[in-house]
Chains A and B, each alone.
Chain A
């Protein structure tokens, strides 16, 4: 049986629903994404397929120009990962990058869908944006993945 890979607690996947909600709704999705954007050592991992899903929904609910502008900004933020075509973009992005967290509004990702796709090889915590934002402890996380004392946010999340 394959071993469960170690995950990186500072590596996070936001599913397309959270990425779109960050842009078009705000609230907990933006709060969670601001936590990520505020720290250069926290990695937002996403495949092209995941970003294309989000871009398509933005195009449908807003317009082409806003979708293109969003894609330019998110490209500068994300760490790219590749996975086979047809895999669930969020689950596969997490699996391929050893991300520790998936942010999603889809409760199905928490259990059956993830187990069916990757079984025990996927060692990831699926959280709602509100759950993530409520639990995010940058200082503890920094001590776990970096050397030294947490210096505070090192990026403006809105630039």
Chain B
């Protein structure tokens, strides 16, 4: 698959940079929380 093929497939999903940033921030916050909980469990 080429990048052009990927971009064509992605066209059906409408989103924007702000939504991407929010999802990424939420994902990274979840990861931090899980990591902190794991460290607490290990301690």
Q: What residue in chain B is nearest A37 (Cβ atoms)?
A: B3
Is the CB of A95 closer than 8 A to any CB of chain B?
Answer: no
Looking at chain B, what size class is its interface with the partner chain? 20 to 34
Is the CB of A142 closer than 8 A to any CB of chain B?
Answer: no
CB pair A25–B24 under 8 Å, yes or no, is no
B9 touches which of A25, A61, A69, A85 (Cβ 8 Å): A69
> How many residues in A have their beta carbons less than 8 Å from beta carbons of B?
31
Question: Chain A interface mostly helix, strand, loop or mixed?
Answer: helix
CB distance from A77 to the nearest CB of B (A): 9
CB pair B13–A57 under 8 Å, yes or no, is no
CB pair B20–A61 under 8 Å, yes or no, is yes
Query: Given A56-B27, A57-B23, A158-B2, are A21 and B7 neighbors across the interface (CB < 8 Å)?
Result: no
Of listed B1, B15, B19, B28, residue having the most chain A CB within 10 A: B15
CB distance from B20 to the nearest CB of A (A): 5
Is the CB of A62 closer than 8 A to any CB of chain B?
Answer: yes
CB pair A157–B3 under 8 Å, yes or no, is yes
Query: Given A61-B15, A70-B6, A73-B1, are A17 and B21 neighbors across the interface (CB < 8 Å)?
Result: yes
Q: Can you list, as one digit per residue, whether each of A45-82 has a CB less than 8 Å from chain B (1) or not (0)?
A: 00000000110110011110010011011000000000
Can you list 25 A-B pairs, Cβ within 8 angstroms, ordered by A? A17-B17, A17-B20, A17-B21, A20-B24, A23-B10, A24-B15, A25-B15, A25-B17, A25-B20, A37-B3, A53-B24, A53-B27, A57-B20, A61-B15, A61-B20, A63-B13, A69-B6, A70-B6, A72-B1, A73-B6, A86-B32, A105-B17, A106-B21, A158-B4, A158-B7
List the interface of chain A (C-beta within 8 A of B): 16-17, 20-21, 23-26, 29-30, 37, 53-54, 56-57, 60-63, 66, 69-70, 72-73, 85-86, 105-106, 157-159
